[in-house]
């Protein structure tokens, strides 16, 4: 059987030149696929914006006589912040209550989160 490319130095150079140009073709194909990712991201945003907004949450106004209670404006601000962070996805706020330790609300949230996931002994 006769070889298409001879097994000589000239054949090796021919294979190298072919490989060089084919690598440009493959790299261009990868670049084309990567250039489609922003379009895919735009399509996902468009689909997400077409979905209906989550149902409004019934909020009872807070009484103003107790300074430790969460006021209605804070609840509205928290709901808006969650809506922005969740990128418009459906969500439900279950419970909002004042922190017992005002200075360490982050630590209290972590304790509450980790406490609910504590391993059983």
* 3-class SS string, the chain: CCCCCCCCHHHHHHHHHHHHHHHHHHHHHHHHHHHCHHHHHHHHHHHHHHCCCCCCCCCCCCCCCCCCCCCHHHHHHHHHHHHHHCCCCCCCCCCCCCCCCHHHHHHHHHHHHHHHCCCCC
pLDDT value, residue 21: 94
Give residue 68's pLDDT: 47
pLDDT, one tens digit per residue, over 6-29 is: 888 998 999 999 999 999 999 999
> If you average pLDDT over every residue of the chain, what do you get?
76
**pTM score, two decimals?**
0.35
pLDDT top residue among 87 and 32? 32
- Using an 8 Å Cβ cutoff, are 54 and 90 in contact? yes
Q: What is the reported pLDDT for 20? A: 93
pLDDT of residue 34: 93
Which pair of structure tokens corresponds to residue 20? 């060089």
What's the burial of 52, exposed, middle or buried (CB within 10 Å: 0-12/13-18/19+)? Answer: exposed
Q: For position 80, what pLDDT does the model report? A: 82
Q: Phi and psi of 99, rounded to 5°?
A: -80, 140
């Amino acid at each position: 059987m006769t070889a298409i490319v001879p097994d000589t130095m000239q054949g090796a150079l021919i294979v190298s030149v072919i490989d060089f140009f084919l690598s440009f073709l493959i790299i261009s194909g990868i670049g084309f696929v990567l250039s489609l990712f922003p379009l895919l991201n735009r399509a996902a945003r468009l689909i997400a914006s077409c979905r209906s907004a989550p149902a409004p949450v019934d909020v009872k106004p807070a009484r103003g006589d107790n300074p430790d209670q969460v006021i209605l404006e804070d609840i509205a601000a928290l709901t808006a912040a969650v809506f922005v962070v969740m990128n418009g996805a459906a969500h439900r706020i279950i419970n909002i209550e004042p922190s017992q330790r005002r200075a360490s609300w982050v630590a209290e949230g972590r304790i509450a989160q980790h406490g609910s996931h504590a391993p059983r002994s």
